[in-house]
Amino acid sequence: MGNIKKYVFSYNELENDSLLHTKDKLLLSKAKEVTAKAYAPYSDFFVGAAALLSNKKIVTATNQENASFPAGICAERVLLSTITSLYGEAAIDTLAISYINHKNNKSDHPISPCGICRQSLMEYQLRVKHPIRLILAGMKGKVIIIDDASFLLPLNFSGDDMA
Ligand code: THU
CATH number, domain at 134? 3.40.140.10
User: What's the pLDDT at 17?
Assistant: 96
Angle subtended at Cα 11 by Cα 161 and Cα 134, rounded to the nearest 5 degrees? 65
Compute the distance between CA of residue 10 and CA of residue 66 in angstroms, rounded to an integer: 36
Q: Report yes or no on 19 lying in a domain.
A: yes
> How many whole angstroms separate alpha carbon 120 and alpha carbon 126?
10
For residue 106, the enclosing domain spans: 12-155
pTM of the model: 0.97
**Residue 66: inside a domain:** yes
Q: Cβ(45) to ligand 1 under 6 A?
A: yes
Residue 126 lies in a domain: yes
Q: Is residue 94 part of a domain?
A: yes
User: Residues with catalytic annotation?
Assistant: 76
Q: Give the per-residue pLDDT at 109.
A: 98
Percent of the chain with pLDDT over 90: 99
Q: What are φ and ψ of residue 60, in 5° steps?
A: -120, 160
Q: In what order do the strands lie in the sheet with 12-14?
A: 12-14, 143-146, 133-137, 92-101, 45-53, 58-62
Give the other-Cβ count within 10 Å of 137's Cβ: 27
In a domain, 40, yes or no: yes
pLDDT tens per residue across span 52-100? 999 999 999 999 999 999 999 999 999 999 999 999 999 999 999 999 9
Closest-CA residue, ligand 1 atom 8, reads 74
Tell me if 161 is assigned to some domain: no
The total number of structural domains in the chain stands at 1
Mean pLDDT for 16-28 is 97
Residue 1 binned pLDDT confidence (cut-offs 50, 70, 90): confident
Nearest CA to ligand 1 atom 3: 74
Examine residue 50 and state whether it is found in any structural domain, yes or no: yes
116 touches ligand 1 (CB under 6 Å): no
4 in a domain, yes or no?
no
